[in-house]
Amino acid sequence: MNRIGLIANINKSQAIWAVKKVCELLDDKGEEYILDKASAYLLDREVESLAYEELINHVDLVIVFGGDGTFLKAARTFVKNKVPILGINLGQLGFLTDIEIDKLEEGLDKLLAKEYIIEDRMILEGVVIRQGKVINKAIAINDLVITKGPFSRIINLETYIDNQYVTTYPGDGLIIACPTGSTAYSLSAGGPIVNPKMKSLIITPICPHTLYSRSIVTTVDEEIKVSVDADHNEVMLTVDGQDSFSLLSKDIIKIGKSDLVAKMIKLEGYNFYKILRNRLHNNRV
């Protein structure tokens, strides 16, 4: 399996045990692995480690210990090098992670036996245009979100699909998600659940100040354009709920499918609808 990268959310209470256990199992199997430096501090022995960003060119597969947030950061980091990622769930819902903590050894055995598939997941690319110039670009595994910031005043988001005006959303903001992100913020805002194997874009308003606003699902080849109309300077564009960029009134955000794809490892027996049922009912069986 060549070299496996290990990255943990060191703030999770089960991280120490999980990382130690996986290292022991990999040692027993004679597999080569390397940790990011923060995760290496969880162990009581010296192991090979590199800074997080340096792992990109030194691993062929990554195992992430944490919740969806940890997974999302890793997926954005390694997507350009086409490194597949497997998640061990130390969080709550964990729609993106594949192995539950109580089935760690079983899951790792499947991985090492190559009893898995690699799913190519579409991701988003967003471009911010101000006064005719591109001032920021971002990729997102789940979603790009335009929000009003801390003020209670609504913002108006003039929305186009393939340069055709659709509507203006007055409210707290707008979520543009891909199918992988349909079970994240978009779901909480009332958006549809979309099978992650599909290729589409999902537009979901946040607390719309209207009686008729609904989510819209577009084709993957269409581009979404949003023009910001706000009377304050606290509007933000957030990427997967982790990175953010300040927006001004009259800024234009263009969002579409990225040419990059996220490679996610799914172990034998994985089924999206089973995961969906278990997660939404807080049942991880």
List, by residue number, the catalytic residues. Answer: 68
For 19-46, letters b (16+ CB in 10 Å) and e give: bebbbebbeeeebebbbbeebbebeeee
By CB neighbour count within 10 A (0-12 exposed, 13-18 middle, 19+ buried), where does 165 fall?
exposed
CA atoms of 198 and 121, how far apart (whole Å): 9
CA nearest to 181, candidates 145, 130, 225, 132: 145
Residue 156 exposure: Cα atoms within 13 Å on the Cβ side: 7
Determine the distance from the C-alpha atom of residue 121 to the mean position of all C-alpha atoms in its chain, rounded to a whole number. 10
The DSSP bridge partners found for residue 261 are: 122
